């Protein structure tokens, strides 16, 4: 009988824990490491869900990993300061930004053969994305504070978008608008990818140094990861900041899975913050996953919900000689 008296209290405690999210977790953990090279420089990862391949930037090369086996099936090399890889699957092409020599390398997705190296007028191309409505590749050039548009079918330069300062990552709504973070100005610029004109500029204040970006196209929401240890949720229609949530230090990539309604922010401090979208305007921190120091960029396979992040996975010193091993961490929530 005494136990029965406490049942309502226990039930109330359960409801409070559930509501606050303290009883929740994403269950993600590192399940394996894919060893790639002893070259230490790295930046973006890109995932082609049609072929189940992961493209991993690594200084002067891009590693191609088959995600069904987690084995390296190709290497695209002789590159220069690789930053990002954009996939245009409908044209069987990939595009690589080379910050070291201001070129975009075009390669065949099936054979990994280099098809062309496009010289652009932009300086230090960094992030690179495929825009599906215009069927254009956009490279975002930090050194010249602009974006270069390239026709993905012909590999011809279509024009340039002048930006207010050095751009970071970008997303498209697939309906005629693109959005790009302006890191030093703490802004997001909205522009027309067809006419190559800036439409609006929005402040992210009080958050600073925006880097990673993802988008919920259905609800027209941008998710911007900022180095001020915040994720900002922005209404992509009017630029209004809807919510601000805490994340780890040194964020560089964000991803959104519309199936699970979860946002992921990978951070240099060795964490991935998982944020739950409860509705278009309501969000809560679900988890902080431990990864490894330096694992700041990330890709998600939405068919398996696995996360992939690259970093130095091992360091050794033998006979006074230091060596590093670069690779990819594989995280699963099963």
pLDDT score at 24: 64
Q: Is the pLDDT of residue 156 over 80?
A: yes
- Select from 2.70.170.10, 2.130.10.10, 1.10.8.420, 3.40.50.2300 the CATH code of 41-302: 2.130.10.10
Which of 295, 194, 287, 200 is closest to 247 using CA atoms?
Answer: 287
pLDDT in tens, 50-64: 999 999 999 999 999
- 206 in the Ramachandran plot: left (φ > 0), alpha (ψ -120 to 50) or beta? alpha
- 49 in the Ramachandran plot: left (φ > 0), alpha (ψ -120 to 50) or beta? alpha
* Confidence bin at 4 (pLDDT 50/70/90): very low
Which of 129, 50, 91 is closest to 303 using CA atoms?
Answer: 50
Give CA 207 to chain center in angstroms.
19
Q: Is the pLDDT of residue 17 over 60?
A: no
pLDDT score at 319: 81
List the beta bridge partners of residue 290: 271
Pair 215, 223: CB distance under 8 Å: yes
Which of 278, 277, 276, 274 is closest to 288 using CA atoms?
Answer: 274
Alpha helices for 147-196 (secondary structure H)? none
- Tell me how crowded residue 45 is: count the other CB atoms within 10 A of its CB: 24
Q: Exposed, middle or buried by CB within 10 Å (0-12, 13-18, 19+), for 115?
A: middle
Q: Is the pLDDT of residue 254 over 70?
A: yes
Residue 186's SS3 state is coil
What's the pTM value of the predicted model, to 2 decimals?
0.91
**Percentage of the residues of the chain whose pLDDT score is greater than 70:** 93
- Six-digit token pair at 310? 């690259």
* Confidence bin at 300 (pLDDT 50/70/90): very high
pLDDT score at 40: 84
| Sequence ranges of the domains in the chain | 41-302
pLDDT score at 163: 96
Kindly list the strands in the beta sheet with 146-151, ordered across the sheet, starting from the edge strand earlier in the chain: 125-131, 136-141, 146-151, 157-162
Average pLDDT over residues 154-180: 97
pLDDT score at 21: 42
Kindly list the strands in the beta sheet with 167-172, ordered across the sheet, starting from the edge strand earlier in the chain: 167-172, 178-182, 187-192, 197-203
- Mean pLDDT score across all residues of the chain: 93
Q: Is the pLDDT of residue 12 over 50?
A: no
Helix (H) or strand (E) holding 2: helix 2-20
pLDDT in tens, 101-149: 999 999 999 999 999 999 999 999 999 999 999 999 999 999 999 999 9
- Six-digit token pair at 17? 């824990």
CA distance 114 to 56: 16
Locus of tokens 């005629």: 176
Q: Is the pLDDT of residue 206 over 80?
A: yes
């Amino acid at each position: 009988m005494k136990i029965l008296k406490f049942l309502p209290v226990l039930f109330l405690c359960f409801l409070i824990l559930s509501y606050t999210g303290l009883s929740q977790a994403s269950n993600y953990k590192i399940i394996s490491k894919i060893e790639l090279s002893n070259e230490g420089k790295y930046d973006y990862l890109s995932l082609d869900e049609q072929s189940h391949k992961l493209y991993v930037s690594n200084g002067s090369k891009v590693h191609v990993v088959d995600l069904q086996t987690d084995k390296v099936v190709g290497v695209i090399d002789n590159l220069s300061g690789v930053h990002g890889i954009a996939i245009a699957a409908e044209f069987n092409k990939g595009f690589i930004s080379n910050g070291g020599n201001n070129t975009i390398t075009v390669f065949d997705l099936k054979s990994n053969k280099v098809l062309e190296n496009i010289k652009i007028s932009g300086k230090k191309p960094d992030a690179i994305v495929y825009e599906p409505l215009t069927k254009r590749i956009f490279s975002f050039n930090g050194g010249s504070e602009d974006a270069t548009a390239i026709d993905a079918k012909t590999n011809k330069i279509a024009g340039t978008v002048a930006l207010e300062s050095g751009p970071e990552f970008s997303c498209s709504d697939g309906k005629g608008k693109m959005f790009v973070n302006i890191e030093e100005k703490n802004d997001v610029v909205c522009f027309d990818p067809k006419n190559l004109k800036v439409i609006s500029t929005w402040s992210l204040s009080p958050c600073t140094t925006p880097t990673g970006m993802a988008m919920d196209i259905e609800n027209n929401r941008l998710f911007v990861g900022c180095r001020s240890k915040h994720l900002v949720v922005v209404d992509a229609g009017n630029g209004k900041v809807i919510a601000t949530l805490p994340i780890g230090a040194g964020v560089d990539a964000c991803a959104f899975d519309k199936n699970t309604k979860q946002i992921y922010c990978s951070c240099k401090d060795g964490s991935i913050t998982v944020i739950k979208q409860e509705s278009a305007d309501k969000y809560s921190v679900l988890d902080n996953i431990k990864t490894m120091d330096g694992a700041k960029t990330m890709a998600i396979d939405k068919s398996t919900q696995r996360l992939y992040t690259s970093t130095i996975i091992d360091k050794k010193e033998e006979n006074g000689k230091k060596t590093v091993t670069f690779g990819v961490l594989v995280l699963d929530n099963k």
